[in-house]
Structure 1
Amino acid sequence: MLRPLLAVLMLGSATLAVGQRAAPSALVDATKATTRTPANVARDRYRHPVETLAFFGVKPTDTVVEIWPSGGWYTEILAPYLAAHGSFYAAGPTAKALATVTAKQAAAPAAYRTMHLATFPAPAASTDAPAAVPAASAPPAVPAGSADVVLTFRNVHNWRFGKTDQTQAAFDQMFAMLKPGGTLGLVEHRLPETAVGIEEARSGYMKQSSVIGFATKAGFRLVGESKVNANPRDTHDYAKGVWTLPPSYIEGDADRARYTAIGESDRMTLKFVKPA
């Protein structure tokens, strides 16, 4: 469902008020970039990029890291937003995993002029570390203490049920790459705390308490929660997990109208800080 933006003109400068957060006009402009994929633009009504990034406080002058950008949905917004005055890292497990965003950069170099590739998880310190050692050709890791903001969208469940559980290592590394006082902005499919008979992570959903637990253990402090990406129509109890809902529609045409009416998943939107 499309959420209305609360727009106000303040002191002659174009801004959008999102709740109590002010979104720079440059952020709104970035969502209108002609380099965005039309299919991605169509999902704005589910993913609320202006409200979400404004809640996280992302500024156009920031150094921002996007963890595991996959198809580059948010990358298409972040890259032009940061192109003039910021710096942007797209961080993935291998260069191959970043091929989609690399292709976007090649197609629109001006919009992606400050985007750098980085490896995440970083190379393991020892053979006992849970993070896989990337190939020698992989991009470098994000420098420690260099980022103002780290963002990750719907990735925690992937770290949780991979070949090895890399969740805590992921949060530890995100903590390390941030400057003191820096922000971790996280969106994830939300499994209700009272849910019974639904396997966390393998369903694609995570309990909010679990996510907060990993973040807190890494050293983060939770400073805010937004309901902007919540979806009360999501029942969370699908045999094939969250991928039953759009945009995946893993069941094909079976009950497609029902899943379309539900929309995309119920999601937590959490803001953490690295204490100064």
Structure 2
Amino acid sequence: MSRVSILALALGLAASSLALTASAATPSANTPSAAITAAIADVNRPQADRDRDGDRKPAEMLAFAGVKPGDKVVDFMPGAGYFTRLFAKAVGPKGRVYTLLPGELATRSQKAVDGQKALAQDKAYGNIVPLVQPVNAPVFPEKVDVVWTSQNYHDLHDAFLGPADVAAVNKAIFDALKPGGVYIVLDHAGDKGSGLRDTETLHRIDPETVKKEVEAAGFVLDGEDDALRNSADNHSLKVFDPSLRGHTDQFVFKFRKPK
């Protein structure tokens, strides 16, 4: 081999080594930040929440959503507050977390109202603000960075909320976000092509239906996360079935409001 060839080979190997080193040093988009890691390690989180971390993968979910210190986040239909507490710690004292409870649900479920109030009054989380608003026309105190809804989008289509005017809901969320803000929809997957068939019976929804509805409000699909997918779930059982609960096949979409 000539001296020129040896030199070229050496330069090529050096360049490859530098590229691999740079790749290893650069975190991926879904690498949890220090703020997210600290939020998950928060000693104030209920043990019941900690016990679900293996199934719900909170570090990856918050990283996928891009939640960071100082953000304003809306937790739409927060349930028992599993993600609410994580958001509160991840955004820190300069951030804000709004729990949005539809008024239609609040009038029927005192448990939901009491749970939301308890979150806001917990001294360990001083940046949570409860909101009770009409589902079709929610009003927000300010523009926000992230709107999150977990395992509830399908409920917009059944008697649980009326059903709601889904186009109006998505448009209200679009308007509430800052330009470049994101809308995260995590829900139980239904069969491909099933549309809205199983929203009330099995509490599932066809992922493609969600895409079409949300994009119709002006959003652009900006990513999907497969961390919660489960190929062993054949979509035939209700999500509350004891053999499947907590392990359903779930999709996670990130929609972005164009700048």
Task: Tell me the TM-score range normalised by the shorter chain.
Answer: 0.7 to 0.9
TM-score by length of 1: 0.75
Decide which structure has greater helix share. Answer: 2
Correspondence 1:221-240 to 2 at 5 A: 221-238=220-237
1:32 is matched with which residue?
41
CA-based RMSD: 2.6
1: CA distance between counterparts of 2:116 and 2:50?
16
TM-score by length of 2: 0.79
2: CA distance between counterparts of 1:264 and 1:154?
12
Distance 1:147-1:120 versus aligned 2 partners, 3 A rule = same
2:5 is matched with which residue?
none
What runs of 5+ residues in structure 1 fail to find an aligned partner?
1-9, 123-130, 133-139, 250-258
Correspondence 1:87-166 to 2 at 5 A: 87-94=96-103, 96=110, 97-106=112-121, 108-109=122-123, 111-121=124-134, 131=136, 141-143=139-141, 146-162=143-159, 163-166=162-165
Identity %: 29
- Residue type matched to 1:213 in 2? K
Question: Aligned residue pairs: how many?
Answer: 228
Q: Secondary structure at the match of 2:118?
A: helix
2: CA distance between counterparts of 1:16 and 1:36?
30
Larger Rg: 2
Are residue 265 (structure 1) and residue 253 (structure 2) matched? no
Deviations for 1:198-251, whole angstroms, at most 9, x for unmatched residues? 93212111111110111011111101011011111112102xx1111xxxx3xx
In 2, are the aligned partners of 1:242 and 1:265 still within 8 Å (CA)? Answer: yes
2: CA distance between counterparts of 1:98 and 1:150?
20
- Residue type matched to 1:117 in 2? P
Distance 1:180-1:100 versus aligned 2 partners, 3 A rule = same
2: CA distance between counterparts of 1:209 and 1:225?
12
1: CA distance between counterparts of 2:223 and 2:69?
21
1:53 is matched with which residue?
62
Offset of 1:105 from its aligned partner? Answer: 3.4
2: CA distance between counterparts of 1:87 and 1:230?
30
Are residue 44 (structure 1) and residue 27 (structure 2) matched? no
Correspondence 1:56-95 to 2 at 5 A: 56-94=65-103
1: CA distance between counterparts of 2:211 and 2:180?
18
